[in-house]
Amino acid sequence: MGCLYLVPTPVGNLEDITLRALRVLKEVDLILAEDTRTTGILLQHYEIRNSLCAHHKFNEHQTAEVFAKRMAAGEDMALVTDAGTPGISDPGFMLVRACAAEGVAVICLPGATAFVPALVNSGLPCERFTFEGFLPQKKGRQTRIQQLCDEPRTMIFYESPYRVVKTLEELATAFGGDRRASVSREISKLHEETLRGTLDELAAHFKTTAPRGEFVMIVEGLNRKKSKEVETFAHLKE
């Protein structure tokens, strides 16, 4: 019986990979990669010569069971994505499920994940949070946002630079423009940046400053006490 290793890879700086991850990538029989070209650069940097095979969202429905059966027959494999921990807004879930069905051991190595440094650096409460990943682009988008209006925990979103302003404006409309938030981009890279403010302030900033890079957005959860005080004040004014 073989084993599946879920191996986190750097989200920016190549030095962020662990010694254990490098050893596993050297020792397994096969590395499953979201993009073999991106992973090839990492392997070349660390002089790792091993077999690569593509495993991504466009083929995982067909390949997950095939690879799981090969591991059940004795092969050890490592799954990596372009950046971060497999399964976090990236391929991984289907392969882990297939391995579990085959009785194959799954070992997830600790390592890089973009939302952790963004959350800790946000200045918002991080003892309780909910990870929302990417919001739906079209169908179900507004429904998902409305479902989060009463969420008391800190919320974490991933977003592309092309939708940052739109998402900030939509969240401001739903949650209130004065809701506190933090936006981190290019985490662990040369131009890493974190901006903090209200949803309105952040949306205004990125309207005049073109968003670049990959973004992690941290949004304050609903403060029920504060919300109730605002409602009471508004009622008194009436």
Q: Looking at the structure, tell me whether residues 53 and 99 fall in a common domain.
A: yes
Residue 235 has pLDDT above 60, yes or no: no
CATH of the domain at 89: 3.40.1010.10
Give the tens place of pLDDT for each residue, 191-229. Answer: 999 999 999 999 999 999 999 999 999 999 998 776 555
Same structural domain for residues 119 and 217? yes
> Where a domain ends, among 108, 129, 144?
108
pLDDT of residue 84: 94
Alpha-carbon distance of 13 to 187, in angstroms, equals 9
Question: For the domain that residue 138 is a member of, what is the CATH number?
Answer: 3.30.950.10
Q: In this structure, is residue 68 part of a structural domain?
A: yes
Q: What is the mean predicted confidence (pLDDT) over 67-91? A: 95
Residue 195 shares a structural domain with residue 215:
yes
pLDDT for 238 equals 55
Residues 23 and 57 in one domain: yes
pLDDT digits (tens, 9 = 90+) for 34-72: 999 999 999 999 999 999 999 998 888 899 999 999 999
Residue 188 domain-assigned?
Answer: yes
Whether 122 and 187 share a structural domain: yes
- What is the C-alpha to C-alpha distance for residues 124 and 15, in angstroms, rounded to an integer? 28
Among residues 229, 111, 103, which one has the least CA distance to residue 178?
A: 229
Domain boundary (108, 132, 153) is at 108
Containing domain of residue 133, as a range? Answer: 115-227
- 221 & 123 share domain: yes
pLDDT, tens digit (0-9, with 9 covering 90-100), for 6-33: 999 999 999 999 999 999 999 999 999 9
Intra-chain end-to-end CA distance of the chain, in Å: 71
Instruction: Give dist(CA 10, CA 114) in Å, integer.
Output: 9
Flag whether 236 is in a domain: no
pLDDT classification of 232: cutoffs 50, 70, 90: very low
pLDDT at residue number 126: 94
One domain, residues 96 and 125 = no
Q: Between residues 155 and 231, which one has the greater pLDDT?
A: 155
Indicate if the alpha-carbon torsion angle 72, 4, 48, 82 is positive or negative: positive
Domain membership flag for residue 153:
yes
Q: Are residues 133 and 96 in the same domain?
A: no
Q: How much is the pTM?
A: 0.88
Give the model's pLDDT for residue 88: 92
Say yes or no: 19 and 57 in one domain.
Answer: yes
Mean pLDDT (the chain) is 93
pLDDT of residue 233: 41
- Residue where a domain terminates, one of 65, 90, 108: 108
Position with higher pLDDT, 237 vs 89: 89
Task: Please count the structural domains in the chain.
Answer: 2
**Whole-number pLDDT of residue 228:** 55
Tens digit of each residue's pLDDT (9 = 90 or more) over 117-151: 999 999 999 999 999 999 999 899 999 999 999 99
Distance CA 51, CA 91 (A): 19
144-182 pLDDT, tens digit each? 999 999 999 999 999 999 999 999 999 999 999 999 999
**218 shares a domain with 129:** yes
Decide if 62 is inside a domain.
yes
